[in-house]
Amino acid sequence: PSPLRRRSSLRDLANSVLSQNRRRSSVSMDLASSLATFARAKAKAKKIKDDAPKPTKAKLQAEIQALKLGIGRMGREILALTSMRDATTCSFADQERRHQEERQQALEELQKAQAEYASVKA
């Protein structure tokens, strides 16, 4: 490639890394905000007396559950951005490795059974 093209691709790579860093910091800020909201919701839940109306309690519990799910999603997103790999790619790679190990084990068992059959037949 020409030097201009090489510089262009390096610039694109740098811009990509910068945008990922911006995205990571944005997600981190969202996570910090959600954690603060979560803490406030938990404190609010503790203040609610047992004689509070059930809809109020249920609404607060639903809000806490939604915040938990959002916090978990943001944590996974930060992890994916930090490792520069998609979480699904990791799980597919792990799954492929596990399948490879299972195939190898099945092949070894087959060879062992064939050897036993050959010794019995002889």
| 5 phi and psi angles, rounded to 5 deg | -65, -40
Domain boundaries, the chain: 3-84, 90-122
Mutual angle of helices 54-83 and 3-47, in 10-degree steps: 160
pTM of the model: 0.33
pLDDT tens for each residue of the chain, 122 residues long: 555 555 566 666 666 666 666 666 666 666 666 677 777 777 777 676 656 677 777 777 777 777 777 777 777 776 666 665 554 555 667 777 877 888 888 888 888 888 877 777 66
